[in-house]
Amino acid sequence: MASLCKYAATCTVFTTALGPLPHIGLRYRRAYCRGGWGECARYAVAEAVGRESVPAGMLPNEQDAASALVAIA
């Protein structure tokens, strides 16, 4: 079984349905929360500048936004 991201318990992507399309949330959870967290934009920001700096609405595939947040920190 794939390992779970250490931020999963407090991550909005893992803990919420992500609006009216819950199947998208399931895809993100499979791709990022359960083993692929090293590629997750939210994970990258949390590791670089702290969990409190991750925008609540940031999606795991927003690497450009993550890079910008890390660069200004």
DSSP string, the chain: -PPPPTTGGG-HHHHS--TT-HHHHHHHIIIIITS-GGG-HHHHHHHHH-GGGS-TT--TT-HHHHHHHHHH-
Q: What is the pLDDT along the chain (73 residues), one digit of tens a residue?
A: 568 999 999 999 998 877 777 888 899 999 999 988 999 999 999 999 999 999 989 999 999 999 999 998 6
Unique residue bearing structure tokens 């991550």? 11
Half-sphere exposure of 11 (CA within 13 A, CB side): 25
Statement: the pTM of the whole predicted model exceeds 0.85:
yes
Instruction: Locate 62 and state its tokens.
Output: 């927003």
Domain-by-domain residue ranges, the chain? 8-72
